[in-house]
Copies of this chain bind each other. A is one copy, B any other.
Amino acid sequence: VPKNRRPRDRDDKHDEILAAALELFTSRGYDTTSMAQVAAATGVTTTTIYWYFTDKDALLLAVLDHVLENVLSELPSQLERPLDEQLLWALARLRSHRRLVVTVHARTARVPAIATWHDGFHELMNAVLADGLRRQGVLGEDIPALTTAGVFVIEGLLTHETSESHARSVLRVLTDKVS
């Protein structure tokens, strides 16, 4: 057996399970998709998943990290743009993952590892948004409060169905704070 053969196979299967979970968790939702469904979508037995992921929450965590990684890779191209365009981009980019957002909130109270991930995600959003506000010329003392408000508004727009135009005007209400 060539030394590279096995590890690559393992990585492949790991990624296949991850891809199936990502697709199912995003489209159908975390607690509506069973481990059996993830296994069937990958073409393995349910128990096989447990060889690659310690439990269902670990699988969710891997999905979250994967999504975050993708978003992070696109972030640099957005950092120069005006704040309101940044926000609309974030909104559009994350909309397909709305179920994931709700799931993270639901499971944060239950599993510490998800709570930690959730904290990290908020820190990231806070940092990016605070920077955007600073670039807009917002007073330093207003930034923490406006940042928190902004993140909550984004989460709200993400998880509640709203028209594109209304979302736009809700976000404008925040960015207009410059004056």
Contacts and interface: CB of A to CB of B under 8 A. Distances in A.
Contact of A105 (B102, B157, B162): B102
Contact of A99 (B109, B169, B170): B109
A175 B166 CA distance: 20
Nearest to A146: B173
Nearest to A99: B109
Interface stretch (A5-13, A53-61, A147-155): A147-155
A171 to B, nearest CB: 8
A145 B166 contact: yes
A123 interface: no
Interface string A103-138: 101100110000000000010000000000000000
Contacts of A110: 29, 32
A159 interface: yes
Nearest to A159: B105
Interface string A25-43: 0000101100000000000
A162 B119 CA distance: 12
A66 interface: no
Interface in A75-96: none
A170 B156 contact: no
Contacts of A153: 149, 152-153, 156
A148 B142 CA distance: 21
Given A106-B106, A148-B156, A149-B173, 11 more contacts: A31-B31, A102-B109, A103-B106, A105-B105, A142-B173, A145-B166, A149-B174, A152-B153, A153-B156, A155-B156, A173-B177
